[in-house]
Structure 1
């Protein structure tokens, strides 16, 4: 009788160890998945901030009124272009890889002034081709 009670206790301990291992393995997989999601989100936020910074950089540059499209590169991974449109309007485009941001402006008294309403994450023009980086 004594011997049987020891075997059942040992079986219970082994069962608890197996269940604990399975739970810890599942939690580890879940942690790895969430870590990958956080890293991806962090990279996307960093990328968005870089393009916003490039757009603000382009806003304070001295752009000429000719040619119709001018581009500059503030950092290795981003480009900023100014496109002169009809009716004394301008479009500032900043982009890196597949992310583009825009800011409309106008020409008044021979100077380029950008809209105080900030940037846009969608093309503000009807013609999508005019919103692409050349």
Structure 2
């Protein structure tokens, strides 16, 4: 009779062990999921800020100049930079100063105003050399 009690107790202990292992695996998976959600949320915030900086840059007055020129919007900490190309177009970039995420827009300059080109938005730098994609330090603050 006592053998039946021991096997029942053994089964209960086995179920408890399996349950705690399952709970541990679920907690680990949830922790990893929370990190992924936080990273995704941060990316969406950075993307929205970069889009806003790009739109803000479209509204600014830009003098015709060679090389990168940048303007900062200090309230929202946006940075928008412009590079005129030989073809008469220009490349506008926008980003939040606290983020590395930068968005790009091909634009047509007309009378110190920028007009976005159709299908000109891009999420990577379209210039052939990566070193040409970085505005030089000190070019901000026009």
Q: TM-score normalised by the shorter chain: which range applies?
A: 0.7 to 0.9
Give the Cα–Cα distance (whole angstroms) in 2 for the partners of residues 95 and 128 of structure 1: 17
Q: CA, structure 1 residues 9+107, in 2 after alignment: closer, same or farther (shift >3 Å)?
A: closer
- The equivalent of 1:107 in structure 2 is 109
Q: Is the 8 A contact 2:92 2:104 kept in 1?
A: yes
- The equivalent of 2:26 in structure 1 is 27
TM-score, with structure 2 as normaliser: 0.77
Q: CA, structure 1 residues 129+6, in 2 after alignment: closer, same or farther (shift >3 Å)?
A: closer
Q: Is the 8 A contact 1:95 1:133 kept in 2?
A: no
Ranked by relative contact order (alpha carbons within 8 Å, sequence separation 6 or more), the top structure is 2
Shift of 1:29: 0.8
Q: Choose 113-122 or 27-36, whichever is displaced more.
A: 113-122
Give the Cα–Cα distance (whole angstroms) in 1 for the partners of residues 116 and 95 of structure 2: 18
Shift of 1:66: 4.1
- The equivalent of 1:86 in structure 2 is 86
Shift of 1:51: 0.8
1:117 to 108, 116, 119: 119
**Structural mapping, 1:54-73, within 5 Å:** 54-66=53-65, 68-73=67-72
Shift of 1:110: 5.9
Root mean square deviation of aligned Cα: 2.3
Unaligned runs of 5+ in 2: 137-142
- The equivalent of 2:135 in structure 1 is 133
